[in-house]
Structure 1
Amino acid sequence: MTAHKRNPGGGRRRKRSAGRVPGRLTGGLVALAVFAAVGGAVVAWLPSDAQRPPTATAPSGSSVTAPSDSSVTGSPTQSGTPAPPRTGEPPGPDRSSAAAGPSSTPLPDSGPGTFVTASGEGRKVGRGTPLRYRVEVEKGLTISPADVAAQVERTLADPRGWTADGHSAFQRVSSGPTDFRVRLATPGTVDAICAEGGLDTGGKVNCSVHDDVMVNLRRWVLATEFYAEDVVGYRSLIINHEVGHFLGHGHVTCPGEGRPAPAMMQQIKGLHGCVPNVWPYDRDGRLITGPAAP
C-alpha cells in the first residue's frame, strides 16, 4: 500500500543485503486524496470504509463490525459482480484468533504511541543469513501481539512469499538487535511514524519507513473492498507489500486481464483487470509482477 510522499524528490529504497542497513524509505498503499486545508488536511474515505459501520472518532474508540467470514477471497467491487475464486489463503492451518478475528473490534483513531512486543522466537525461514524482526502491537489495542506475530510468521514462511527469491530469509525475535519491526498501530500513530520519513498515510493506509513496517489498524481489521470477504488474505498482502518495499521492491501494475495482481501492485486503488492475489511468487516459484508503476 502506498503513502503519498511529502517530499517528491526523495529516493527509493535500495535492495537490502544481509545485516542491518540504515534508513530505508518506501511507501505503502493509498487510495485516497489528501487536500491541503487551513489548519489541517481533508481526507477522502476509502470506498471500503464508507460501506461499513462508522468507527470511533475519539481516541477512546468504539466498536466496528468486521466481516463475519474471512475465510474466502474477494468481494464484489460493483453490484452484480461475482466474487473471484480463493486466492489469498495460505496452505495449511491458518486460523488463529487473529486470523478469524472477533465479530467486532474497537478501532480507536489514536493511541499512546508505545508498543508491546510479541514474546518468544520463531524459526528461521529461507536461505542465507536471516533478517531479524520484531512484531509489536500498540498498547491499548484489543488484538493479541501473539496472534499478529503468528500471522506475520505464516506469511513470511509461505513458499509463495519473499523467501522464494532464493536469498531472502527471516526470523522473528523478541529481543536483541533487529533489522526491521512490524508494528500494528492506530491510524494516528501510523501517520506520525510514517511522517517522520516524509510519507503521508492520511489515517487510512500502511507504510514502510526506515526500519519500520507500519500496519494501519483499520486495514488490518477492515481490509478493502476487494478483500472484504478475505480479511486474512489481505493481512498477508499488507505484510508482503510492505516487507517487499523494505527489501527494495518498487510498485508495479497489473500485467494483463485475468492475471494475478502482483503483491507489489497498489491493489487498494483497483485491480485493473487482474484478480486478487496476495503472494509475490506463484506455486512454481515464478515472480508475479507487472510493468513498473510510480
Structure 2
Amino acid sequence: MGKRVPAPRRRRLYTRALPLGLGVTALLVGGGAALADRSESGPTAGAGAPQDDKPPSTATTKPPPSPSASASAEPSPGTPSRIPIPPDGPGTFTTARSAGSPVGSGGTVRRYKVLVEKGIDLSEREAAVEIETILAHPRGWTSDGRHSFQLVGSGPSDFEVKIATPGTVDRICGAAGLLTRGEVNCTVGRTVVVNLKRWVLGSDQFDGPVTEYRALIINHEVGHRLGRGHVTCGGAGKPAPAMMQQIKGLRGCHANAWPYAENGTYITGPAVP
C-alpha cells in the first residue's frame, strides 16, 4: 500500500453549496466478484475491470445546474464540517431511504445505496443527496453518454457507498488486504468505503472547499467501479485527473474533483503501474 499517509493538519474548512434534489448513481460489479481496489491512497488490488451483467436500461438525462464558483456558505452547527470524528464505530450502518430518478443518457443504469455508520452525527439522507448531486454533475461520469446512475433506498442495488469511522474503514479495507491506516478511502468489491475523516476534513493537498474534495472522493472511487485505473498528472499547470491519487501530491497539476473538463474533454494522464 506504500508509505504511511500522514494525518492531515487541521486547517480552516470552506464549504460551497451544491445543487440538491437531483437524480443519480449506481454501479454494477459483474458477478459480485470480490474485487478490491485501493483508494486514492494506492493502486488497484485484485482482478481486472468490473463487467456489466445486466442489459442496458434507458435513463433520462436531467443535467443539474453547475454550482457557481463564487457560491459559499459558512458551516453551521450540525453540518458535516462541524461533526466529530470518532476513531471507531460499531461497524453497522443505516441506509438512506432516499431515492432519485435515473441520470445519464446511455449504458446500464447503475443503482446504488448510501449508508452511514451508526453513531456518526451525519444524516444519511443529507449524505445521499450530496452524493446524488455529485454523480449527477455535468462534469461527472455521465458526461460521456455511456454511464447512468440512480439512487435507491431499498431493493436491489449494484453498489453501495458507506461512510464510516477510520477504524471501521481499516477493518473493511483490511479484510481485502488494503492498508488504509485510518486515513484514506477504499473500494472493495461492490462497496465504496468513505473515511469520515476525509469526508469532514478534506486533504491539505486539495486547495478548495471540502465539498469539492467530497466530489473527488466519490468520482475517484466510483471511477474504479467503472473500470478506471490510477493515472498521474498530465502536465504542469493542468487539472489533476479525478483518477489521480491527489492526496499523495499534485506533481505540478492543480487540484480538481471532476473527471471531465467544462468542454467535455476527459481529464487524464499517464497510467500508474
Do both proteins adopt the same fold according to a TM-score greater than 0.5, normalized to the shorter chain?
yes
Q: Is the 8 A contact 1:125 1:171 kept in 2?
A: yes
1:199 aligns with 2:199: no
Ranges in structure 2 where 5+ consecutive residues have no aligned partner: 3-25, 43-64
Identity %, equivalent residues: 52
Q: Is the 8 A contact 2:102 2:150 kept in 1?
A: yes
Residues of 1 paired with 2:73 and 2:125: CA distance? 13
1:111 aligns with 2:121: no
Residues of 2 paired with 1:211 and 1:27: CA distance? 13
TM-score, with length taken from structure 1: 0.70
Match of 2:32, SS state, is coil
Match of 2:153 in 1: 174
Q: Is the 8 A contact 1:97 1:147 kept in 2?
A: no
Match of 1:252 in 2: 231
Match of 1:199, SS state, is coil
Match of 1:121 in 2: 99
Q: 1:94–1:104: structure 2 CA closer, same or farther, 3 Å change rule? A: closer
Residues of 2 paired with 1:119 and 1:276: CA distance? 33
Q: 1:22: Cα distance to partner?
A: 1.7
Higher percent of residues as strand: 1
Q: Deviations over 1:131-150 (max 9, x none)?
A: 01000000010011111111
User: Which residue among 270, 273, 276 is the counterpart of 2:249?
Assistant: 270
1:213 aligns with 2:192: yes
Q: 1:199: Cα distance to partner?
A: 1.0
Q: Is the 8 A contact 1:96 1:147 kept in 2?
A: no
Residues of 2 paired with 1:193 and 1:174: CA distance? 22
Report the RMSD for the aligned CA atoms in angstroms: 2.7
Q: 1:95: Cα distance to partner?
A: 7.0
Residues of 2 paired with 1:228 and 1:257: CA distance? 16
Match of 1:26, SS state, is strand
Q: 1:161: Cα distance to partner?
A: 0.6
Residues of 2 paired with 1:94 and 1:26: CA distance? 33
Q: 1:90: Cα distance to partner?
A: 5.0
Q: 1:165: Cα distance to partner?
A: 2.3
Q: 1:18–1:141: structure 2 CA closer, same or farther, 3 Å change rule? A: closer
Q: 1:230–1:164: structure 2 CA closer, same or farther, 3 Å change rule? A: same
How many residue pairs were aligned? 224
Q: Is the 8 A contact 2:29 2:190 kept in 1?
A: no
Match of 1:39 in 2: none
Give runs of ≥4 in structure 1 deviating > 4 Å: 16-20, 92-98
Residues of 1 paired with 2:271 and 2:38: CA distance? 15
User: Which residue among 9, 13, 29 is the counterpart of 2:40?
Assistant: 29
Q: Is the 8 A contact 1:222 1:228 kept in 2?
A: no
Residues of 2 paired with 1:22 and 1:103: CA distance? 34
Q: 1:228: Cα distance to partner?
A: 5.8
Residues of 2 paired with 1:186 and 1:199: CA distance? 16
Residues of 2 paired with 1:198 and 1:183: CA distance? 18
